[in-house]
Amino acid sequence: MTGKQPFEAVVTEHGGTVLRVCRAILGPADADDAWSETFLAAMRAYPDLPAGANVEAWLVTIAHRKAIDVTRAAARRAVPVAQTPDDTAAGPADSPGDGLDDDLADAVTRLPAKQKQAVAYHYLAGLPYADIAVIVGGSADAVRRAAADGIATLRRTYLDAAGAASGTGAASRSERRDT
Amino acid sequence: MNTDDMTQILAGAFPDEPGDLRRLRERLARAAQRDGILDVAYRTVDSPVGSLLLAATEAGLVRVAYASEGHDTVLQALADRISPRVLNAPARLDEPARELDEYFGGHRRSFDLPLDWRLSAGFRHAVLSHLTEIGYGRTASYAAVAGLAGNPKAVRAAATACATNPLPVVIPCHRVIYSDGRIGRYLGGPEAKRTLLTLEEAAR
């Protein structure tokens, strides 16, 4: 009888996707901790996971909770510092050679929580909106709207800006809005 | 722009980082060991008889497997029979790997390792537990081994025990041959059995 596959195979199959999700939700600095906590908790609970369960949705559910824990822990650690608009503007310039993709990653991480979760779990983890609704609460329609709002923001702030930067200019920006 | 485009663009913004994942997996193996949830740790080692899979529980070495058995098949069997909490975690196998390396180099005649016998029971276990009494570089017949296990008539059962040894090389079922000199069945194939016997003959 063949039962549950060895946990090593679960890590091989889903480790990359869960890391992308953690990076989207938390940014690169806290993603490693969230990934580690997620897979350690998953391995602990793995023998009790029902056979035939959707492993990817199960892992994203755990990652979702761990990301909330990590965010809360970071908030507790944080010392309030007056942040000027200049500080914010200086952010992306810290990694000048990394190209536009890093900016898109940053733009995803900066989305409001519900939009970011909907975008990451749907577009990066490939989960249907109904599954995501179970994880984050609310209805599938609300998740769909949050994802659409998030994608609209990314188009506006990142993709159009990238188009403008590469010389296609304002004309192409307005074209894209029409599509 | 459709959904597929968006999926590709977003995936491109979070590219795979194989080095990062390798580091995270090592960290997971250490944390699982620390937390006592690493039920089965495994690694592979190269040897003159091909790639060997080594697997250990907290109690000790539980499985040595030849490539011909299919390492993935063996790992699935370990997940089914022991626990699905199986990770590639080489640290627990450091000592078995070192002793096997010495053995294949002709510098070690017996193994001094904690063993987990849970994959072997009853008469088969009785047979296997006596095999270390056959000295390095020597051979014994299936009939003799059946006798060592307390039932000289159970020759076929003794042969089956040897053919299903979960700890080949370490438990020397390769030293058991037919009384007429035929080499007999072996998990790793007759060629591997001959290689081990030749190695021991040369190093004796």
Per-residue 3-state assignment (H helix, E strand, C coil) for chain B: CCHHHHHHHHHHHCCCCHHHHHHHHHHHHHHHHHCCCCCEEEEEECCCCCCEEEEECCCCEEEEEEHHHCHHHHHHHHHHHCCCCEEECHHHHHHHHHHHHHHHCCCCCCCCCCECCCCCCHHHHHHHHHHHHCCCCCCEEHHHHHHHCCCCCCHHHHHHHHHCCCCCCCCCHHHEECCCCCCCCCCCCHHHHHHHHHHHHHHC
A11 to B87: CB separation less than 8 angstroms, yes or no: yes
A19 to B21: CB separation less than 8 angstroms, yes or no: yes
Q: pLDDT-derived band of residue A20, with 50, 70 and 90 as boundaries?
A: very high
Whether the predicted pLDDT of A63 surpasses 80: yes
The token pair at A24 is 């989207």
For residues B43 and B34, what is the distance between their CA atoms, to the nearest angstrom?
18
Q: Which residues of B does the annotation mark as catalytic? A: 173
| More confident of the two residues A34 and A159 | A34
Q: What is the pLDDT of residues B67-116, one digit of tens each?
A: 999 999 999 999 999 999 999 999 999 999 999 999 999 999 999 999 99
Q: Which CATH class is domain A96-170?
A: mainly alpha
For residues A47 and A43, what is the distance between their CA atoms, to the nearest angstrom?
8
The token pair at B195 is 């290689």
A19 to B15: CB separation less than 8 angstroms, yes or no: no
B84 to A5: CB separation less than 8 angstroms, yes or no: yes
Sketch out chain B's domains with CATH numbers.
Answer: 18-104 (3.30.160), 122-203 (1.10.10.10)
| C-alpha distances in Å from residue A85, one per residue of A75, A82, A96, A109, A161 | 20, 10, 19, 18, 20
Q: Does A159 touch chain B (CB under 8 A)?
A: yes
Instruction: Tell me the three-class secondary structure of chain A, residue by residue.
Output: CCCCCCHHHHHHHHHHHHHHHHHHHHCHHHHHHHHHHHHHHHHHHHHHCCCCCCHHHHHHHHHHHHHHHHHHHHHHHCCCCCCCHHHHHHCHHHCHHHCHHHHHHHHHHCCCHHHHHHHHHHHHCCCCHHHHHHHHCCCHHHHHHHHHHHHHHHHHHHHHHHHHHCCCHHHHHHHHHHC
Residues of A in contact with B42 (CB under 8 A): 8
Domain boundaries of chain A, sorted by first residue: 1-82, 96-170
Q: pLDDT-derived band of residue A161, with 50, 70 and 90 as boundaries?
A: low
Q: Does B4 touch chain A (CB under 8 A)?
A: no
Picking from B7, B28, B40, the nearest residue to A40 by CB comes out as B28
Q: What percent of chain B has pLDDT over 70?
A: 99
Distance from CA of A10 to the nearest CA of B (A): 10
Residues of B in contact with A20 (CB under 8 A): 11, 14
| C-alpha distances in Å from residue A13, one per residue of A127, A166, B136 | 15, 36, 43
Nearest to A47 by CA among B54, B86, B26, B73: B86
A19 to B24: CB separation less than 8 angstroms, yes or no: yes
Burial call B107-121: b when 16+ CB within 10 Å, e when fewer: ebeebeeebbbebbe
The CATH number for A1-82, chosen from 3.40.50.300, 2.40.50.140, 3.40.47.10, 1.10.1740.10, is 1.10.1740.10
The token pair at A95 is 């990694």
ipTM over 0.90: yes
Q: pTM for this structure? A: 0.86
Q: Which residues pair with B42 in a beta bridge?
A: B55, B88
Cβ–Cβ pairs < 8 A, chains A and B: 101
pLDDT computed for residue B166 by the predictor: 97
Whether the predicted pLDDT of B121 surpasses 80: yes
A5 to B10: CB separation less than 8 angstroms, yes or no: no
Picking from A3, A8, A123, the nearest residue to B6 by CB comes out as A123
pLDDT computed for residue A46 by the predictor: 98
> What average pLDDT score do residues A101-105 get?
77
Residues of B in contact with A119 (CB under 8 A): 10
| C-alpha distances in Å from residue A154, one per residue of A17, A26, A91 | 20, 17, 17
Return the residue of B nearest to A123 by Cα: B7
